[in-house]
Amino acid sequence: MINWYQLAHDKEKTMIQIRRHLHQYPELSFEESHTHDYIVNQLEQLSCEIRRPVGKNGIVATFKGQGDGPTIALRADFDALPITELNDKPYRSKNEGCMHACGHDGHTAILLGVAEIINEHLAHLNGNVVLIFQYGEEIVPGGAQQMIDDGCLDGVDRVYGNHLWSGYPTGIIYSRPGAMMASPDEFTVKITGKGGHGAKPHETIDPIVILAEFILSAQKIVSRTVDPIKQAVVTFGMIQAGASDSVIPDSAICKGTVRTFDPDVQTHIMNKLDKLLQGLAVANDIEYDLAYERGYVPVHNNPQAYEVVKEAANDLNLRFTEADMMMVGEDFSAYQRVRPGAFFLTGSGNASKGTDHPHHSPYFDIDEAALKYAASEFLKILELEDVIKTERL
């Protein structure tokens, strides 16, 4: 038997070193040139085939086995966010206004650690391992579909992905069969009325008041028109109008997000938003523009692949918990539309280390002890999928 946890534990310092380097030099989605080159440099030291760029900026590394086992893909993302880091750590971001605030530096370090361990056990490789290093996860349309279109899943039988999660305790593995993460849509509404003096509102068509009415009315879409069994969220995150206390502006803008699991509910909410605006336009003589962008499809885990994730955690004596459905989005779902696969979360939250801040926070950090748990989980999955044999071939 190969003790995957011990091997991942032995590789922990390497993964931490990689993660901290990437954390200091974050790059925004679709702009990850340094990160791309760093990953390639690490992979070039190993006995794998490297293809790049895949899509715009992706990398695919393939370890080929000697047997007739399946081909399994493992994926990590490597883009960062436009956030100024407020942590006072020696490895804090050196790129002002850019930060790894979602753990993608950790994801990449984990997969590079897995690559090194596979490289050290090539004689045990019964099938093929495809490592997908993906750019641009944070911004729709994401990098996954572009990499798929460029053949990153050609010949792949199943695909697995991991996300470090600060909301869960370090080392616990979370997943669920079927729907796991929602479709994250975005919308922008601009209402154009007629501006004027704040002392003479009767001579204007006040877009702020009408926008406020729209926002309040939209709250009823989910609570009164969507089946309560079918989860949905409508949230407004930005309102912008005017620049003076005594001037009614010509226009007002708001932005928001819609989260759903069911495509019919997704379409229903989009249409309801438009109908609300149509009614307000007729009643108030305004013009409006609704820009609605559908996000990633929901993450939907294949039942058999989910069972592999669960069995791997149990065999490693890691704690496993069935995850709740989550309203966050992830473009790992694009891979799952093409090949069966499963996504899992590895807890990285530890209040004593200050790593329990939410994702996308300027104080976000990960408990680096989680790296070895995720790496060993990936390796055990490869064994259970018969890609790696515990005995030499």
How far does CA 232 lie from the centroid of its chain? 19
Whole-angstrom CA distances from 190 to 103, 128, 249, 250, 287 are 34, 51, 12, 10, 8
Q: Taking the model in full, what pTM does it have?
A: 0.94
Average pLDDT, integer, range 102-107:
98
Q: In the chain, what are the domain boundaries?
A: 4-181+298-385, 183-293
Of the candidates 386, 322, 307, 329, the residue with the CA atom closest to the CA atom of residue 125: 386
Residue 390: predicted pLDDT: 82
Residue 1: predicted pLDDT: 82
Residue 104, annotated as binding a ligand: yes
Q: Are strands 128-134 and 58-63 parallel, antiparallel or unpaired?
A: antiparallel
Tell me if residue 49 is catalytic.
no
Residue 163, annotated as binding a ligand: yes
Residue 392: predicted pLDDT: 76
The identity of residue 393, as a single letter, is L
Tell me the percentage of the chain whose pLDDT exceeds 90.
98
Residue 129: predicted pLDDT: 98
Q: Are 195 and 248 in contact (CB under 8 A)?
A: yes
Instruction: Give strand pairing partners of 194.
Output: 205
Distance CA 120, CA 8 (A): 12
Residue 138, annotated as binding a ligand: yes
What tokens appear for 292 in the block? 């609605």
The helix/strand/coil state of 7 is helix
pLDDT tens by residue, 134-171: 999 999 999 999 999 999 999 999 999 999 999 999 99
Residue 288: predicted pLDDT: 98
Whole-angstrom CA distances from 281 to 206, 209, 222, 284 are 12, 13, 22, 5
CATH architecture observed for domain 4-181+298-385: 3-Layer(aba) Sandwich (3.40)
Of the candidates 39, 158, 54, 41, the residue with the CA atom closest to the CA atom of residue 104: 39
Using CB atoms within 10 Å of the CB of residue 345, give its burial: 0 to 12 exposed, 13 to 18 middle, 19+ buried: buried
CATH architecture observed for domain 183-293: 2-Layer Sandwich (3.30)
**Selected catalytic residue, list 77, 79, 367, 385:** 79
Q: Are 345 and 106 in contact (CB under 8 A)?
A: no
**Selected catalytic residue, list 27, 32, 137, 356:** 137
The confidence band for 17, taking pLDDT boundaries of 50, 70 and 90, is very high
Average pLDDT, integer, range 335-340:
98
Mean of all residue pLDDT scores within the chain: 97
Using CB atoms within 10 Å of the CB of residue 303, give its burial: 0 to 12 exposed, 13 to 18 middle, 19+ buried: exposed
Residue 63: predicted pLDDT: 98
The three-state DSSP-derived secondary structure of 59-104 is EEEEECCCCCCCEEEEEEECCEECCCCCCCCCCCCCCCCCECCCCH
pLDDT at 393 over 80: no
Radius of gyration of the chain (CA): 24
pLDDT tens by residue, 339-376: 999 999 999 999 999 999 999 999 999 999 999 999 99
The confidence band for 78, taking pLDDT boundaries of 50, 70 and 90, is very high
Tell me if residue 322 is catalytic.
no
Average pLDDT, integer, range 71-96:
98
Residue 102, annotated as binding a ligand: yes
pLDDT tens by residue, 202-261: 999 999 999 999 999 999 999 999 999 999 999 999 999 999 999 999 999 999 999 999
pLDDT tens by residue, 53-66: 999 999 999 999 99
Q: Where do we find the tokens 């849509």?
A: 185
Distance CA 292, CA 201 (A): 31
